[in-house]
Amino acid sequence: MEQFETYDNNQKINVNITAIETKAQQLNEIAFFLRKKSDLSDFEILDNTSPTSASFTKEEAKVRAVLEINIQFMVDSNQEPNKPRIMQETIVRYSLYDQDTRKTYYSTFVDFEDEYIDNGDEQFTIKKQIEIVLKENVLNKQRVFIESLN
The Cα–Cα gap between 104 and 49 comes to 18
**pLDDT per residue over 81-131, tens digit each?**
888 888 888 888 888 888 877 777 777 655 545 678 888 888 999 998 999
**pLDDT per residue over 46-88, tens digit each?**
999 999 999 999 999 999 999 999 999 999 888 778 888 888 8
Instruction: Show the domains of the chain with their CATH numbers.
Output: 2-149 (2.60.60)
**pLDDT per residue over 47-58, tens digit each?**
999 999 999 999
Answer whether 0.85 is exceeded by the pTM.
no
Torsion of CA 110, 112, 113, 115, to 10 degrees: 70
Computed over its alpha carbons, how large is the radius of gyration of the chain? 18
Confidence of residue 1 (pLDDT cuts 50, 70, 90): confident
Higher pLDDT, 57 or 140: 57
Structural element, H or E, at residue 68: strand 66-74
Q: Which of 62, 131, 64, 51 is nearest to 96 (CA)?
A: 131
